[in-house]
């Protein structure tokens, strides 16, 4: 039934600031925009989508607590990712945590109240290597 996520969406009251922040974090501009309402980035090994939606469209109270589930993005160097997120003003939500052999996570709250997870995930690398093998 489910074949993988298509888009992860976050909300931001200041869409322009969120677009600039994620452009800086990802090192690329959005590939799609609806002026004043939505920006979307494609990145990663499978060109996954990250959409940022104008906060007024959020189905929840954005000021109540950090929003949404935690989607963990694989990173090759977790310590460098943690340092980069902190340098861009993201606040630690969950500290670096070893989950098991080859699985280490951390999560941060971006400046717009969304939880962003990063993870070193050996299983992700193994699956990717299997797909690249002839």
**98-120: per-residue pLDDT in tens?**
988 888 999 999 999 999 999 99
- Residue 63 domain-assigned? no
15 is a domain residue: yes
Domain co-membership, 28 together with 80: no
Instruction: Flag whether 36 is in a domain.
Output: yes
End-to-end CA distance of the chain: 27
Q: Do 13 and 42 belong to one domain?
A: yes
Residue 62 placed within a domain:
no
Read off the tokens for 32: 């799609």
Residue 112 is assigned to a structural domain of this protein: yes
- Let me know if residue 115 belongs to a domain: yes
Pair (44, 3) in one structural domain: yes
Same-domain check for residues 91 and 35: no
Tell whether 43 and 90 lie within a shared domain: no
CATH number at residue 32: 3.30.720.120
Q: Which pTM was predicted?
A: 0.80
Q: How many domains does the chain have?
A: 2
Whether 81 and 134 map to the same domain: the answer is yes
Q: What angle do CA 112, 15, 10 make, to 5 degrees?
A: 50
Cα separation, 96 vs 84, whole angstroms: 14
User: Where residue 84 sits, what CATH number does that domain have?
Assistant: 3.10.180.10
Average pLDDT of every residue of the chain: 88
- Residue 83 structure tokens: 């340092």
In angstroms, the CA 53 to CA 34 distance is 9
Structural domain boundaries enclosing 113:
68-134
Question: What percent of the chain lies above the pLDDT cut of 90?
Answer: 51
Q: 125 with 73, same domain? A: yes
**pLDDT at residue 50, as a whole number:** 92
Average pLDDT on 43-49 reads 88
């Amino acid at each position: 039934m489910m074949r993988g996520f298509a888009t992860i969406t976050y909300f931001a009251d200041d869409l322009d600031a969120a677009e600039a922040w994620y452009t800086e974090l990802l090192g690329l501009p959005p590939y799609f925009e609806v002026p004043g309402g939505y920006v979307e980035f494609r990145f990663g090994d499978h060109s996954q989508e990250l959409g940022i939606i104008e906060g007024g469209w959020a189905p929840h109270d954005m000021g109540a607590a950090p929003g949404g589930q935690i989607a963990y993005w694989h990173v090759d160097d977790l310590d460098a990712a943690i340092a980069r997120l902190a340098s861009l003003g993201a606040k630690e939500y969950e500290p670096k945590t070893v989950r098991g052999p080859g699985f280490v996570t951390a999560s941060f709250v971006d400046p717009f109240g969304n939880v962003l997870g990063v993870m070193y995930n050996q299983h992700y690398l193994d699956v990717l290597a299997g797909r690249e093998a002839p």
